[in-house]
Amino acid sequence: MKNTLVATALTLTAAAAFAQAGTPIKIGVVTPLSGTYAGIGQQVKWGLDLAAKEINTAGGVLGRPLELIYEDEEANPAVAVQKAEKLFQVAKVDFLTGTVNSGSTLAVGQVAERNDRLMATTVSFADSITGDKCSPNVFRVNARAGMQSAALADWMAQTTPNAKVFYLGPDYEMGRSTVAAFKSAAEGKGAQSTGEVFAPLDNKDYSPFFGQIRSARPSVIYTSVAGNDTVRLFNQMAEFGVNRNVQVVGASGTVTSQNLAAIGKNADGFVTGVGYSPLIDTPANKKFVAAFEAAAKALPDLYGTDSYGVLYMYKAAAEKAGSTDTAKLRAAMRGLQWATPQGTKTLRAEDHQAMQDMYAVRLKDGKFEIVGKVAAAAAIGPDACTKF
Amino acid sequence: MPAALDWLQFVLAPQMINGLSIGVAVVLMALGLTIIFGLLDVINMAHGEFYAVGAYVAVALLTAGLNFWWALVLTPLLLAVLGYATERGLIQRVFHSKDRHTLTLLLTFGVAIVMEDVLKIVFGANPLRIEAPIAGATEMVGLFFPNYRLFVMVVGSLLIAAVWLLVFRTSIGAMVRAAAFDRHMSASLGVPVSTVYATTFAFGVALAGLAGVMLAPIYSVFPTMGRDFVLIAFSVVIIGGMGSIKGAVLAGLLLTQVQSISSLFISPVWSDPLLFGIMVLVLMWRPQGLFGKLGQA
Amino acid sequence: MGALASSTTTAPAHGPGGAHGRTRDAARLLALLFFVLALGFAGTAFALGDVFFLRLATEALIFGGLALSVDLLLGRTGLLPLGQALFFGLGAYVAALTLKHGGGSFWLAMAAATAVSALAGLAGGLIAIRSKGVYFALISFGLAQVVSKVVYNTRELGASDGIIGVPQPTVLPGVGAADPLGFFLVVLVFVAAVYATLAYLGGTPFGRQLDAIRTNEHRVAFLGFDPWRYKLTAFVAAACIAGASGALYPMLRGFVSPELMFFQVSGNAVINVIVGGTGTLIGPLYGSALLTGLKSVVGSYTAHHHIVIGTLFVVVVILMPRGLIGYATPALQRWLDRRGGAR
């Protein structure tokens, strides 16, 4: 009888352990699947799906498979918060990612705090997320605006020393602060400003500003417009010949795979600072690009790549912590180093910001050629987070 | 003195010419809207979406291998069919109710929501581009001016003149104006009023679609483009007088000039609020707009 | 407003007695039903230990408050507002700032939000009330556009990111905004109070004036009343309701963002009213609950829920312009009459 009891106990324990080993780790993804940012959401989805597939084929995380649950946030923080709560409360996800715009990331970060779970963004680049509005439950695996500016300013100082720069941005907080950040980085390296103008968001026609730009005679034009605004600006600049004999540079979100097709040739020569280019010449990246292209029938951009990287970050953290418990994961993530297609990234413990080498890339024939590089430590900038 | 002349030539004049090219586009949009309101008493909140559909239809035609000129001719025709169907299928159903204004406003608002989403599904959320059929630029008043924009200005002006002629100098136009003035009397005089209604709606929509094609090479194509012109088109129509063609033309050209020139002095962000402020003032002083209705030009 | 209001030439559903007071029974029943269902839902959700659905329902009620303010204007006064989100968002921001920097008191936040909305309503009303119909709609739309753009660009208000870190206040001892069930009940009481006030107002001389204005504004002047004053009062009242509802949002979610003032919110409110039943007051609440639930469910299956909502809206406008409650009320009344005989 004792043997039977022990045997039953052993079988039950084994069964339980087996079941436990199989229960998926649920990753909630709140990302814009409709609306203006649907293109970015699509890249995020491709990156996550690929990483999940690879990780699960290799045995999962701590022996458990990853399960991705998607919800559409429509790039609206109010919707994002609702969906995030649904994922935490109803689907009981262990971890959340996918938010694109900074407002959504900040608001969802609060929801994560209330549910005692962690989240990471792979797209939002507002400095405040790991700066003055940092949260102990929010991590960022992509490069932030300051890092992008650093890479670009560095390149510009080397190729066009003491450049005369004209700044053109969309007139809203993000557009202005991006211009301001780059301006201070550039002027710190000797550039001079010959003027700035801010056009309304969704501005149709930039021709009213060209007279001002012409009379300023800049050698460089810096712009922080994005999406459809970039398409119009670049095409109209080409129309009016404003981009002749001028180097056009801009924010990392200005020309992306979403609007590149519509800008076409008129984007050639554009230089920006980013954390990724599909042309990074390492075996790891080449392998990744091939796998991504095979699955998505499209090249990865920085959003897809960073989203791919976030699941590997989670895997590394969970394995270092030996569990998916929030406090242990958080401790494991602080200072974590893991491999990504862009090389090794480090999550800075002080503000949860990923450190990585940054690149200056130039567009030619639709490809992002690498023309400069800045080491991670130089690019990251100071720790502005005082909450933990 | 030379500085002032310089300013006039190199700053003000280009600004005004730019304003003119935008103005022609706005007038085309406003014309369709005001004709639809003037005759049908229908407030077409979906007008911006028809503009967007026009641009996308052109994209589709170009992808199918046709050249831009074919697209320019075919798109308005296709849009006219769409407009006819919309009027007959949807608008007629709420047309005879007492609350026609509100119901058609709400109806077309709902239609606009659906149309925008359909465009997103069919064509994707990313922006698309149509290459301008005329390349190059001309030097004018010391500024390079793209030839295609000049083309738009010229053709746009011709179109506006053609619409005017059509409405006021042809028998078709007379029928339309008669039906606008007195529906029942016109019907008893043999005017096929319901056909006239549907055709007029189709015509207004076709104008919006034509504007969409013509402007696509300048402003690019994306699913939310319908919202670009809605506010300014409605403001122009209201200020000019709902139903007045003369009003739409004058208000359209004038307001775009005001916006263009004012952007030299105040931050461009205030451009739309300025327009809105003008609209409010006009409404307070003269609620029917500057000019009268379609029946009276 | 013939085709839209729940009754055309008869007095509205909540009107005084007389030959048409019949519909009052059915209307009261449907209103009661809403609140009973709400309580039943709350009880079930609480028993199941749910948090998400309670909060979702609270959000539906908050937007229901906004829909009530739209119905006051559209269904009662005959003005179509396309920018009511302006006051909603304004109330939300004022409450958020008051809670974050002004001591965190629920009552102070509500009072501040209502007061600011009243002032804004007065300013907006003075501009907009002179116009009717589509002109009014476009002015209200334009006002919301302009103000939301200003807020979007103002760094002190968090600009495009909005304001996070809004503390969740205690409403009454033991009941705080962080408590899903407690706050749901608080908001339910708020909405019920607004509803009851508006329903009561419908039967007062003021309410009758609004009906008269909605039916035929010109004649009202001939009867010796100045429609302008009544319309302005209604507009300010609607602004206050919208602002107070908006104030509840940051208490629920802990943040505000400029999207709360965007046209999508105004448009959704109008859709809630039309689908629910213009002029019925309880209809917009049903509409808000229904559409919030629908969006959540449909949104989980497809990203294209706009088509679904848009098509539903078009169908309602064409086939059922009086909205759900607009048709349910007379139908229910007929059933009641048949069952109970004359009362």
A202 in contact with chain C, both atoms CB, cutoff 8 A: no
- Give chain A's end-to-end CA distance (angstroms, integer): 57
Q: Does A16 score more than 60 pLDDT?
A: no
Q: Where are the domains of chain A?
A: 12-143+279-356, 146-274
Q: Where are the domains of chain C?
A: 3-340
pLDDT of residue C282: 93
pLDDT of residue A172: 77
A34, A72, A77: residue with CB nearest C259: A77
Residue type, A338: W
CB A305 within 8 A of CB A276: yes
Chain C residues in contact with A85 (beta carbon < 8 A): 51-52, 55-56
- CA A33 to each of CA A75, B199, C274: distance values in angstroms, whole numbers, following the listed order: 9, 38, 28
Q: What does DSSP say about strands B137-140 and B143-146: parallel, antiparallel, or unpaired? A: antiparallel
ipTM of the complex in this document: 0.85
Q: What is the DSSP letter of C223?
A: T
Q: What does DSSP say about strands C170-172 and C175-176: parallel, antiparallel, or unpaired? A: antiparallel
Lookup: tokens for C230: 């009544």
Lookup: tokens for B173: 């136009």
What residues of C are in the B interface, CB distance below 8 Å?
1-4, 80, 127, 130-131, 133-135, 137-139, 141-143, 145-146, 149, 153, 267, 270-271, 274, 304, 306-307, 309-311, 313-314, 317-318, 321
Confidence of residue B295 (pLDDT cuts 50, 70, 90): very low
pLDDT of residue C152: 85
pLDDT of residue C142: 86
Each residue's pLDDT tens digit, B115-141: 998 998 899 888 898 888 888 888 766
Cα C118 versus chain centre, distance: 16
- Shortest Cα–Cα distance, C253 to chain A (Å): 8
- Angle at CA of residue C252, ends C251 and C256, nearest 5°: 70
Each residue's pLDDT tens digit, C161-214: 889 889 888 888 878 888 899 999 999 999 999 999 999 998 898 898 888 888
Lookup: tokens for C341: 């005989």
Confidence of residue B142 (pLDDT cuts 50, 70, 90): low
Give mean pLDDT, residues B182-198: 83
Confidence of residue B204 (pLDDT cuts 50, 70, 90): very high
Torsion angle defined by CA atoms of residues C253, C257, C260 and C261, in that order, rounded to the nearest 10 degrees: 160
Lookup: tokens for B272: 């739309």
CB C74 within 8 A of CB C273: yes
> What backbone phi and psi angles, to 5 degrees, belong to B171?
-70, -30
C130, C143, C149: residue with CB nearest B284: C130
- Angle separating helix axes A77-89 and A102-114, nearest 10 degrees: 30
| Per-window interface: B 92-121 vs C, CB < 8 A | 93-94, 97-99, 101-103, 105-107, 109-114, 116-118, 120-121
- CA C17 to each of CA A23, C25, C164: distance values in angstroms, whole numbers, following the listed order: 64, 11, 50
Nearest CA in chain B to A231: B220
- Angle at CA of residue C123, ends C122 and C128, nearest 5°: 95
pLDDT of residue A5: 52
CB B188 within 8 A of CB B54: no
pLDDT of residue C18: 37
Q: Which of B97, B106, B118 to mutate to test the interface with C (most CBs of C within 10 A)?
A: B106
Range among A161-165, B9-13, C8-12, C149-153 rated most confident: A161-165
CATH number of A146-274: 3.40.50.2300
Percentage, residues of chain C above pLDDT 90: 50
The residue ranking higher by pLDDT, B281 or A12, is B281
Worst-scoring range by mean pLDDT, B220-229, B286-295, C32-41?
B286-295
Give mean pLDDT, residues C143-165: 85
What distance in Å separates the CA atoms of residue C10 and residue B288, rounded to the nearest whole number? Answer: 32
Confidence of residue B264 (pLDDT cuts 50, 70, 90): confident
Q: Does A310 score more than 90 pLDDT?
A: yes
- CA B77 to each of CA A13, B65, B116, B202, B203: distance values in angstroms, whole numbers, following the listed order: 74, 18, 20, 9, 9
Chain B residues in contact with A240 (beta carbon < 8 A): 137, 143-146
| Cα atoms in the Cβ-side hemisphere of radius 13 Å centred on A65 | 12
Q: Does A18 score more than 70 pLDDT?
A: no
A289 in contact with chain C, both atoms CB, cutoff 8 A: no
Give mean pLDDT, residues B11-30: 84
Please give the interface size between A and C, counted as residue pairs whose CB atoms are below 8 Å apart. Answer: 82
Percentage, residues of chain B above pLDDT 90: 33
Q: Does A101 score more than 80 pLDDT?
A: yes
- Total residue count of chain A as it appears in this document: 388
DSSP assignment of C3-14 = TTSS-SSSPPTT
The alpha carbon dihedral of A315, A318, A321, A323 has a sign of negative
Average pLDDT value over all residues in chain A: 89
- CA C273 to each of CA B109, B148, C73, C76: distance values in angstroms, whole numbers, following the listed order: 14, 47, 11, 12
CA gyration radius for chain A? 22
What distance in Å separates the CA atoms of residue B239 and residue A359, rounded to the nearest whole number? Answer: 52
What distance in Å separates the CA atoms of residue A375 and residue A352, rounded to the nearest whole number? Answer: 18
Each residue's pLDDT tens digit, A178-219: 899 899 889 988 889 999 988 888 888 888 788 788 888 899
> What backbone phi and psi angles, to 5 degrees, belong to A373?
-145, 140
Confidence of residue A344 (pLDDT cuts 50, 70, 90): very high
Give mean pLDDT, residues C144-171: 85
Chain A residues in contact with C253 (beta carbon < 8 A): 78, 81, 107
Nearest CA in chain A to C302: A72
B15, B117, B220: residue with CB nearest A231: B220
Cα A199 versus chain centre, distance: 25
A50 in contact with chain C, both atoms CB, cutoff 8 A: no
Each residue's pLDDT tens digit, C87-132: 999 999 999 999 999 887 899 999 999 999 999 999 999 988 887 7
- CA A376 to each of CA A145, A356, A357, A359, B254: distance values in angstroms, whole numbers, following the listed order: 14, 4, 4, 10, 54
Sequence-separated contacts (24+) of B258-267 with Cβ below 8 Å: B259/B19, B259/B22, B260/A208, B260/B15, B260/B16, B260/B18, B260/B19, B260/B22, B261/B12, B261/B15, B261/B16, B261/B19, B263/A208, B263/B15, B264/A208, B264/B11, B264/B12, B264/B15, B267/A171, B267/A198
- Choose among A165, A154, A118, A125: nearest CA to A142: A125
Domain A12-143+279-356 has CATH 3.40.190.10: no
| Beta strands across the sheet bearing A367-374 | A192-199, A164-170, A220-223, A247-250, A271-274, A358-364, A367-374
Q: Does B286 score more than 90 pLDDT?
A: no
What distance in Å separates the CA atoms of residue C252 and residue C180, rounded to the nearest whole number? Answer: 9
Burial group, residue C43, by CB count within 10 angstroms (0-12, 13-18, 19+): exposed
The residue ranking higher by pLDDT, A381 or C271, is C271
- Angle at CA of residue A206, ends A201 and A210, nearest 5°: 135
Average pLDDT value over all residues in chain C: 87
pLDDT of residue C3: 52
pLDDT of residue A203: 83
What distance in Å separates the CA atoms of residue B178 and residue B189, rounded to the nearest whole number? Answer: 10
Q: Does A51 score more than 50 pLDDT?
A: yes
- Shortest Cα–Cα distance, C17 to chain A (Å): 43
Confidence of residue A19 (pLDDT cuts 50, 70, 90): very low
Fold of C3-340: ABC transporter involved in vitamin B12 uptake, BtuC (1.10.3470)
pLDDT of residue A215: 82
Q: Does A240 score more than 70 pLDDT?
A: yes
Q: Does C8 score more than 70 pLDDT?
A: no
Q: Which helix (H) or strand (E) holds C334?
A: helix C323-340
pTM, 2 dp: 0.87
pLDDT of residue B175: 81
Task: List b or e across A117-146, with b for residues whose CB sees 16 or more CB atoms inside 10 angstroms.
Answer: bbbbbbbbbbbbbbbebbbbbbbbbbbbbb
Worst-scoring range by mean pLDDT, A269-273, A314-318, C166-170, C231-235?
C166-170
3-state secondary structure of B76: helix
Average pLDDT value over all residues in chain B: 85
Name beta bridge partners: A67: A26
Each residue's pLDDT tens digit, B149-167: 888 899 999 999 999 898 8
- Angle at CA of residue C248, ends C243 and C251, nearest 5°: 140
Domains A12-143+279-356 and A146-274 in one fold: yes
